[in-house]
Structure 1
Amino acid sequence: MKEYTLVMGASENEQRYSNMAIKKLLNHKYKVKAFGNRTGEVNGVPIHKELIPYDDIDTVTLYLNPTNQKPFYEYILNLHPRRVIFNPGTENKEFQEKLTHAGIAYEETCTLVLLSINKY
């Protein structure tokens, strides 16, 4: 069963929205995995630098700008998530077309807002 959210662009920096999202997801009892450009940890969730071929990712939430997403297109597509969330500033028509072609839903929205209004 796919039950995890993968935070792409995760950071230990508490001022970063990816950090806030990890904490808020955990507070709402969601299971979280994290990928970032540096290893680290947020509230017990390890941030990995290597691309792990997970088979249990329901949602990928992006905190990478469109240019920084490019190297991860195939990785994310191969995870076969149910959906990908493009947080503000991460919108990417090129990648969204690839997701649509692969039958993966996407949303241009804010993970933090969705959690705040219980619509995640």
Structure 2
Amino acid sequence: MGKTVIVGSTPKPYKYAYQAAQMLDERNFDFIPLGIQEGDVLGRDILNMYERPEIEGVDTITLYINPQRQKDWYDYLIELHPKRIIFNPGTENQELKKLAEEQGIECLEACTLVMLSVGVY
């Protein structure tokens, strides 16, 4: 499996995005932390979303930013060419889902933490 981009990454261990990184790491999934906060997640620098870094080999984007904040990033997220986008609870967005599905991107309204816990990631 390719990389998982964690959108909304934070260096704060009590946040769900950080916990998703921990679970991905424990299960040997490659992940890229991406966000607007500076810092690192498990020794990996958080890439600055404002710089719109190129990321190759993206399998999954897992979202941890609310729909209002997603609007500025629609084009960028789709240009990463993920195979799927996971809309975690509170990030559900029909507008982005429609745009992504028009590009052949699978969209799931699910919880990355639960998917990893039960082995269906």
SS at match of 2:9: coil
2:17 match: 18
Aligned-residue CA RMSD (Å) = 0.9
Judge which range, 101-110 or 45-54, deviates more.
45-54
User: CA-to-partner distance for each residue in 1:25-82, whole Å, 9 max, x for gaps?
Assistant: 0001000101111121111221111321112110000000000101110001111100
TM-score, with length taken from structure 2: 0.95
Whether 1:79 aligns to 2:64 is no
Moved over 4 A (4+): none
Q: CA separation in 1, counterparts of 2:37 and 2:93?
A: 23
Distance 2:97 2:69 in 1: 14
Which letter maps to 1:32? F
* Residues in 1 aligned to 2:42 and 2:81: alpha-carbon distance in whole angstroms: 26
Equivalent residue of 1:91, what SS?
coil
**Match for residue 56 of structure 1?**
57
**Separation in 1, partners of 2:120, 2:53:** 28
Normalization by structure 1: what TM-score?
A: 0.96
- CA distance in structure 2 between the aligned counterparts of 1:109 and 1:58, rounded to whole angstroms: 16
Please give the secondary structure, in 1, of the residue aligned with 2:4.
Answer: strand
Structure 2 residue runs of 5 or longer lacking an equivalent are none
Matches within 5 A, 1:20-39: 20-39=19-38
- What percent of counterpart residues are identical? 38
Query: 2:106 corresponds to which residue?
Result: 105
**Structure 2 letter corresponding to 1:59:** T
Q: Give yes or no for contact 1:11–1:18 (8 Å, CA) kept in 2.
A: yes
Shift of 1:10: 0.3
CA distance in 1, matches of 2:41, 2:97: 28
